[in-house]
Chain A
Amino acid sequence: MKRTRISDLVQSVPPSGIRRFFDLANQLPDAISLGVGEPDFVTPWHIREACIHALETGYTSYTTNQGLPELRGEISNAFHRDYSVDYDLNDEILVTTGVSEGIDLVVRSILNRGDEVIIAEPCYVSYKPTVVFAGGSPVTVAAKLEDDFRVTADHILEKITDKTRAIMINYPNNPTGATMTRKDLEEIADVAINHDLLIISDEIYDKLTYDGKHTCFASLNGMKENTIVFNGFSKSHAMTGLRVGYALGNSEIISAMTKIHQYTMLCAPITSQMAAIDALRNGDVEMGKMMREYDRRRHLIINGLNNIGLNCFWGKGAFYVFPSIASTGLTSKEFAERLLLEKGVAVVPGDVFGDSGAGFLRCSYATSRDDIKEALQRMEEFLAQIKHTVQYNVV
């Protein structure tokens, strides 16, 4: 028998649960999709214009490994302005090819084989595999509906061992839309300080916070040194395909990350870095417009889901809602699959984001109001249908 050429490590990671849905949905091109984790807005024109101008004027080379100094300067200014946290553009900021790369870099920089990272679940699908690829061991903590999908210090404490190195969190959250208050975060910060753990805080949805104010983890007392903050332009400025983000933190870890980045990625694409500079300098107006429109859709979809009988938690951020389908008696996968095949509406089963997402669906409202209304109507029909069959079965 022929030996596989694939490493044990890579084989140990199961295929993404989202993949199957992706293939299914692709066979139904007319389906309405609430399954998309990226903005439906095209990148604002002034930012695209900056890309075009960069190309026209010959900006097509490598940049310094850490990213264009001008961009790091703008990032530093933005964090000073928005969160009163000061990052030195020389050694505390690394521009990455999206937050995705940044998270890979940080876990590879800090983990020895077998070290553990506590990950709040449900979470973005890449966290656990990224830790595994780095030789680490992901340990999950469930953020529960009864806690408004906030991860609590008590639950984290239960999972800490002498191998724990870091806590990975993401608020506003994909897939639940949950946010954390400053006080919630302070409790986690105490745990991190007491157990000498690094906080890995993915704040890519910070600008999409609709109720209350986002707190940057590094702005908490004493946490700048103990937190690596990740952010980027994919969500706030509708720039997913441009692949640019950044990591902020103490110079020791940032320089370790830069060491890997310089050999594996070299630098983020220069066109996108030029676009990012323009986004930070001139992007607030369009960002505000998109944010206000998301907020309207959030009201539309949460009210709509609750009205048709799917209990939906009032998420305050990102562009996802996470309704419970417990009342239907179906599993998330059954529900999502049947809804797609029978009604042409794509949603993502909640357990794709971790076991604690079982019994929920992730619905994205980064889609037009008309599509949201149509999807809600079809979901209502679907619910009536399955209620009917369930009753029928009982008789």
Chain B
Amino acid sequence: MDLALNVLEIIENDPKIGISEIASLTGSLDEEIQDCINKLEMSGIIRKYKTVIDWDKVSGGFIYAIIEIKISLERETGYRVIADRISKFQEVRSVRLISGDHDVSLTVRGKSMKEVAFFVAEKIATLPQVRSTATHFVLKTYKEDGVLLREPEHAHRLSIVP
């Protein structure tokens, strides 16, 4: 199996894992793994090492909303310009160009519903290219980026099996 793919699969699930452990899992030398990761970082394939947090469990945590936006494009600029502009707000967690009824989908995070609602009304809806917005507040997150936000299920196995 390709070493870079193997390393990516390992650290996508466990970014805290050490170099020598990756080396032992893949049958490589520490230097080979370090070199491989350096290349992946430098080429921008690895963007960042992140943590999945269940903010629902934290008092004073965050409110999330998904905002769908319709855009009217100007003659000389594409979606890129407006997407870049929206991306700069720290409240905005993700920005995606999507197919279907709307053009762009955002995830926005704030301390309260009111804060998020005002942010959308004042900062996003007022942008000249934005024709309309639809705000959907997230009530509960069950799975985030491939991670179930509850106890994982275990196989119900016997302890010794031939």
Contact = CB atoms under 8 A, between A and B. Distances in A.
Interface of A: 16, 18, 21-22, 25-26, 29, 31, 33, 35-42, 124-126, 174, 238, 289, 292, 295-297, 299-300, 303-304, 346, 348, 352, 369
B160 A35 contact: yes
B162 A37 contact: yes
A36 B25 contact: no
Nearest to A125: B162
Contacts of A42: 153-155
A140 B9 CA distance: 42
Interface of B: 1, 6, 9-10, 24-27, 153-155, 157-162
A265 B27 CA distance: 45
Contacts of B26: 296, 299
A124 B25 CA distance: 27
A352 B162 CA distance: 9
Contacts of A26: 158-159
A37 B25 contact: no
Identify whether the interface residues of A are mostly helix, strand, loop, or mixed.
mixed
A35 B162 CA distance: 8
Given A299-B26, A299-B27, A300-B24, A292 B159 contact: no
B79 to A, nearest CB: 31
Contacts, number: 65
A292 B1 CA distance: 8
B155 A126 contact: no
A81 to B, nearest CB: 20
Top 4 A-B residue pairs of the complex, sorted by shortest distance between their CB atoms: A296-B25, A35-B160, A22-B160, A25-B159
Contact of B159 (A22, A126, A174, A304): A22
A22 B155 contact: no
A36 B159 contact: yes
B159 A35 contact: yes
A174 B25 CA distance: 22
Contacts of A125: 162
Given A42-B154, A300-B25, A295 B1 contact: yes
B24 A36 contact: no
26 contacts: A16-B162, A21-B160, A22-B159, A33-B160, A35-B161, A36-B157, A36-B158, A36-B160, A37-B161, A38-B155, A40-B157, A41-B155, A42-B153, A42-B155, A174-B162, A292-B1, A292-B9, A295-B1, A296-B6, A296-B25, A299-B24, A299-B27, A300-B24, A346-B159, A346-B160, A369-B25
Contact of B25 (A21, A126, A299, A352): A299
A352 B153 CA distance: 31
Contacts of B27: 299, 303
A346 B157 CA distance: 14
Contacts of B160: 18, 21-22, 25, 33, 35-36, 346, 348
A18 B9 contact: no
Nearest to A22: B160
A18 B162 CA distance: 7
Most buried by B among A174, A289, A292: A292
Given A21-B160, A26-B159, 5 more contacts: A33-B159, A35-B161, A38-B157, A299-B26, A300-B25
Contacts of B9: 289, 292
Contacts of A303: 24, 27
Contacts of B10: 296
Contacts of B162: 16, 18, 37, 124-126, 174, 348, 352
